[in-house]
Amino acid sequence: MLCASWGLAQIAVKLGLAGISPMVQAGLRSCLAVPLLLAWCHWRGVAVLRRDGTLGAGLLAGVLFTGEFWALYEGLGLTTAARSTVLLYTAPFWATLGAHWLVPGDRLTVRKLAGLLLAFAGLLVAFADRLGAPMDATMRGDLLSLLAGICWGATIVVIKASGLTRIAAERTLLYQLAVAAALLPLGLAMGEPGIFAPTPLVWGALAFQAVGIAVISYVAWFWLVARYRASALAPFMFLTPVLAVIAGAAVLGEPAGMPLLVALVLIGAGIWVVNRG
Q: What is the pLDDT along the chain (277 residues), one digit of tens a residue?
A: 998 899 899 999 999 999 999 999 999 999 999 999 999 999 989 888 888 888 999 999 999 999 999 999 999 999 988 889 888 988 888 888 888 888 887 788 888 888 888 888 887 887 776 666 677 888 899 999 999 999 999 998 998 888 888 888 899 999 999 999 999 999 999 999 999 999 999 999 999 999 999 999 988 888 887 677 765 676 677 788 888 888 888 888 887 778 888 888 888 888 888 777 6
| pLDDT given at position 118 | 87
Domain count, the chain: 1
The phi, psi pair for 18, rounded to 5°, reads: -70, -10
| pLDDT given at position 226 | 67
Ramachandran category for residue 194: left, alpha or beta (phi over 0 → left; psi -120 to 50 → alpha): left
| pLDDT given at position 132 | 61
**Domain containing residue 120:** 2-275
| pLDDT given at position 133 | 63
Q: What angle do CA 76, 77, 78 make, to 5 degrees?
A: 90
What is the reported pTM?
0.88
Distances from the Cα of 121 to the Cα of 112, 145, 197, 264, angstroms: 14, 17, 40, 10
